[in-house]
Amino acid sequence: MIIKNVCLETVCGITSKLPDNVHPEVAFAGKSNVGKSSLINALMNRKSLARTSAQPGKTQTINYYHINDAVYFVDLPGYGFARASESVKAQWGKMIEDYLHKSKQLKAVFLLIDIRHAPSENDCIMYDWICRNGYQPIIIATKLDKINRSQIQKQLKLIRMTLNVAEGTVLIPFSAETKQGREEIYEIIDSILEDNYEEVL
């Protein structure tokens, strides 16, 4: 995948109607400090189009980035931010579940998990939500550069076991610093676009 042009096209809040897009969408879900904005920026080849913040829980909207006039990267609200009120957490959860249930162009969901830790209860709930809505999540294990190479396989096994992932689930270790894993993610998105093109024909 070669990134030619990118724009933040639509921002949806809790009361917004989801856009009726004609191009395929791939969504990115993850807890609020998992490095989601850093991943999306790395994929878009932009330094700060997706806003990163030292304060977790900043993404409170669904953000649609239009890539190459061919596909949307959909940044879902970060979940599990401890300081958010229960009502705000409930709103974020409803936004994410509504999107998963109602989007007509959603082709794949990437679920981001911090490779340094076992998936949290919220991560497990999100994995189940995605599965219940008919998608097999693609797991991205972020912050790969933060652990020793010798720990990688052990941590990937821990993620698979804690989430109780379905057989054949793709799990990609990723580093926003080194960009390791980016090509594998591009390949998945390219295959989604090729499949979509064939469906149109």
pLDDT in tens, 116-162: 999 999 999 999 989 999 999 999 999 999 999 999 999 999 999 99
Edge to edge, the sheet with strand 6-12 lists: 6-12, 62-67, 71-75, 25-30, 106-114, 138-142, 171-173
Residues whose CB falls within 8 Å of the CB of residue 78, separated by 6 or more in sequence, listed in order: 30, 31, 32, 33, 34, 36, 56, 57, 58, 59, 92
- pTM here is 0.90
For 41-84, how does the pLDDT look when each residue is reduced to its tens digit (9 = 90+)? 999 988 766 664 444 445 578 999 999 999 999 999 888 765 66
Measured between alpha carbons, how far is 201 from 192 in angstroms, rounded to an integer? 14
pLDDT over 60 (residue 198): no
Is pLDDT larger for residue 47 or for residue 20? 20
CB 27 within 8 A of CB 74: yes
Query: What pLDDT was estimated at residue 2?
Result: 86
